[in-house]
A and B are shown apart, each in its own frame.
Chain A
Amino acid sequence: MERKPSSRLVPLPSNAFVPERDVDKSPILEARHLGIDFGGLTAVDDFSLIIGRTEIAGLIGPNGAGKTTIFNLLTNVYRPTRGTIMLDGYNTYGKSTAQVNRMGIARTFQNIRLFSNMSVIDNVKVGLHNEMKENIFDAMTHCFGFRRAERMANERALELLDFFKMADLAGTPAGSLPYGAQRRLEIVRALATNPSILLLDEPAAGMNPSETSELMENIALIRDTFQIAILLIEHDMNLVMGICEGICVLNYGKVIAKGSPDEIKSNPQVIEAYLGRKDGK
């Protein structure tokens, strides 16, 4: 597959890196010295990361390194023990998960969590919840404003589905879709909330090579079309190295390396975390 070469990473004054084209814009997401303890166990410690406006970034690391925990911290599902999260320049401290979503973060899940008894289009419309304005009296009396809001939501949902070639599946219950389509629908649903950064938790899990390469194209297409940032957790190194501009490697809850794919590939600490040391210690 032919792909554009990743853009060069450029250092910021804060000693972080973002793609060249995002340097002049404020970063969309900035985590500063984030940490969380569960009882006596420190799951994540001193995690700092800056993500550019339209960057595709990767978060990798061995199982149990704390990657999903970081997603849960970024979306305020967990409250951090230490550190701050700045989303689009605003501190998300004390905000509810729903509020953080409205501030611009959307995510998908490692194990698919669609509303499986609802139809495909209704799943997307749940994502559109805060985009649709309608009040309860309109809804109950079925009057004009309500119908217009409904029609607009329908159009928008179909547009999004069409973008991922799923419009013909609109009426199908989400739970009966094939696996790959469920993964895609999760992304559509997240996009429906109109995020400025999309978090994808192992989007290629369980996919075959051809589905994975289609996913890679889709991820690039989402970034180019919607001009948003994407942070993804993934174990498929072909995907991560092929599409991510900046990569952050996590081991035992700590960042062990940050940089471009080439830098990460040749980093001895990363190789050690994944393969163990050569001398067997």
Chain B
Amino acid sequence: MTEFFQTLVSGLSLGSIYALIALGYTMVYGIAKMLNFAHGDIIMVGAYAVITTVMISEAIPGIVAVVISVIVCVVLGVTIEFFAYRPLRKAPSLTVLITAIGVSYLLQNLALLIFGSEQKSFKLDFFDMIKPIYIGKVYINGITFLTLVVTVIIMIALTLFINKTRLGKAMRAVSEDKEAAELMGINVNRTITLTFAIGSALAAVASIFYGGAYTYIRPTTGSMPGIKAFTAAVFGGIGSIPGAMLGGILLGVIEKFAENAISQWSNAIVFVVLVIVLVVKPTGLLGKKINEKV
């Protein structure tokens, strides 16, 4: 029983990271109707931003490094959108997809150029400040605890933001009907920029937890969680924000349990589950039925 809960906790923690990243995929897809495959690499940039900041001076507290990382990622995400995706707003979706893949390789290779190919250790001062806790015999270390708490807070805040605020409503309106939203006086480009900014900020937060859990980073660090989170977004129903949260968490839990059962097969099991879900429910767990437009 202890083992079950232990696996559940690590699954929830991994799932939280996937969910944070999946939110970026799903929000951008919902609003700009594009798959931003460079999103995974924003995580990698976020992680490098943290270790670079800490490297510059030991005196800089970890939390400052986190803030810098979030700023770097937001600026990067918005810049990518402006230079690479905005000119292609009316282009076929395949063109945008190829561009996104191009941007992804560009970021990886830039990181390779600047930081080299060897892995770097990822450590922040506040990881050790939170003492591990025991619930019964289940051990929860500091970074896991932090991941779970912060993810829950972010999810609640994001849900409130999307549903309750003026800008959140503008985002939902743009995702439902871009043209009608524009005719209601909503600046669609600014709304898309905001979406990229939020998605990138979440990726930066995810990078802290991912780096904390795996302790090492390298230029290709972003690809695997990127692909898993994209899977999670599809799993939950791409375009749906609660779907990305649920999809991410379920994917993390399934992966950890699969790893526990037959470690070599964990990824295979994850994707088999994805295939089954998509066969039974092609729009994903919480995906909306696509209404035929007349």
User: Does B273 make an interface contact (CB < 8 A)?
Assistant: no
Do the beta carbons of A129 and B288 come within 8 Å of each other?
no
Residue from B164, B177, B184, B187 within 8 A of A127 (CB atoms): B184
| Residues of chain B within 8 A of A190, CB atoms compared | 184
Interface-facing stretch out of A1-9, A35-43, A111-119: A111-119
Q: How many residues of B sit at the interface, in one of the four size bands? A: 20 to 34
Contact B181 A126 (CB under 8 A): yes
Question: Which residues of chain B are within 8 angstroms of A114 by Cβ–Cβ distance?
Answer: 180
Within 8 A of B (CB), among A73-111: 75, 77, 96-98, 101-102, 106-107, 109, 111
Which A residues lie within 8 Å of B164 (CB)?
150
Complex contact B294–A111 (CB within 8 A): yes
Q: Would you call B288 and A146 a contact (CB within 8 A)? A: no
Does B157 touch A at the CB level, under 8 Å? yes
Q: Are B288 and A193 in contact (CB under 8 A)?
A: no
Contact of B185 among A101, A122, A139, A175 (CB under 8 A): A101
- Give chain B nearest CB distance to A238 CB in angstroms: 26
CA distance A109 to B181 in the complex (A): 12
- The residues in B between 267 and 294 inclusive whose CB is less than 8 angstroms from any CB of A are 288, 291, 294
A25 CB within 8 Å of chain B: no
B125 within 8 A of A: no
Q: Is the CB of A126 within 8 A of B161?
A: no
Contact A129 B166, beta carbon cutoff 8 Å: yes
Q: Which of B166, B173, B182 contacts A97 (CB 8 A)?
A: B182
Stretch at the interface among A130-138, A226-234, A241-249: A130-138
The 8 Å CB contact of B169, one of A75, A97, A125, is A125
Is A153 an interface residue, CB under 8 A from the partner? yes
0/1 string, B181-210, CB within 8 A of A gives 1: 111111110000010000000000000000
Indicate if the CB atoms of B166 and A115 lie closer than 8 Å: no
Kindly list chain A residues whose C-beta atoms are within 8 Å of the C-beta of B161: 139-140
Chain B residues, Cβ within 8 Å of A150: 164-166
A258 within 8 A of B: no
Kindly state the separation between the CA atoms of A102 and B186 in the bound complex, as whole angstroms. Answer: 9
Q: Which of B109-163 contact A (CB under 8 A)?
A: 157, 160-161
Of the candidates A125, A129, A130, A189, the one having the most CB atoms from chain B within 10 angstroms of its own CB is A129
CA–CA, A116 and B175, complex, Å = 11
Main SS of the interface on chain B?
Answer: helix
> B185–A132 contact, CB under 8 A?
no
The smallest C-beta distance from B240 to any residue of chain A, in angstroms, reads: 10
Partner of A134, one of B165, B180, B294: B165
A142 within 8 A of B: yes
User: Of B157, B160, B186, B187, which one neighbours A126 at CB under 8 angstroms?
Assistant: B186
The answer to whether B177 touches A132 (Cβ under 8 A) is: no
Docked CA distance A111–B165 (Å): 28
Q: Name the residue in B164, B166, B185 with the highest tally of chain A Cβ atoms < 10 Å from its Cβ.
A: B185
Q: How far is A147 from B127 in the complex, measured between Cα atoms in Å?
A: 36
A96 touches B184 (CB 8 A): no
Q: Is the CB of B169 within 8 A of A126?
A: yes
Q: Which of B170, B180, B194, B291 contacts A109 (CB 8 A)?
A: B180
Contact partners of A134 in chain B: CB under 8 A: 165-166
Question: In this complex, what residue of B is CB-closest to A199?
Answer: B183
Once the chains bind, are B173 and A118 in contact (CB under 8 Å)?
yes
A25 to chain B minimum Cβ distance, whole angstroms, is 24
Which residue among B169, B181, B184 has the maximum number of chain A CB atoms within 10 Å of its CB?
A: B184
Interface residues in B13-45 (C-beta closer than 8 Å to A): none
Interface presence of B167 (CB below 8 A): yes
Closest 8 A-B residue pairs measured CB to CB?
A101-B185, A139-B165, A113-B180, A115-B176, A126-B173, A97-B182, A130-B185, A132-B166
Taking A98-B183, A129-B184, A134-B166 as known contacts, 10 extra A-B pairs with beta carbons closer than 8 A to each other, sorted by chain A number, are A75-B183, A101-B182, A101-B185, A102-B185, A113-B180, A115-B181, A125-B169, A128-B166, A129-B166, A139-B167
29 pairs, A vs B, C-beta closer than 8 Å: A77-B179, A96-B187, A98-B183, A101-B183, A101-B185, A102-B185, A109-B180, A111-B294, A113-B177, A115-B172, A115-B173, A115-B180, A126-B170, A126-B186, A127-B185, A129-B169, A129-B185, A129-B186, A130-B185, A132-B166, A134-B166, A139-B161, A139-B167, A139-B168, A140-B161, A146-B165, A150-B165, A153-B166, A193-B185
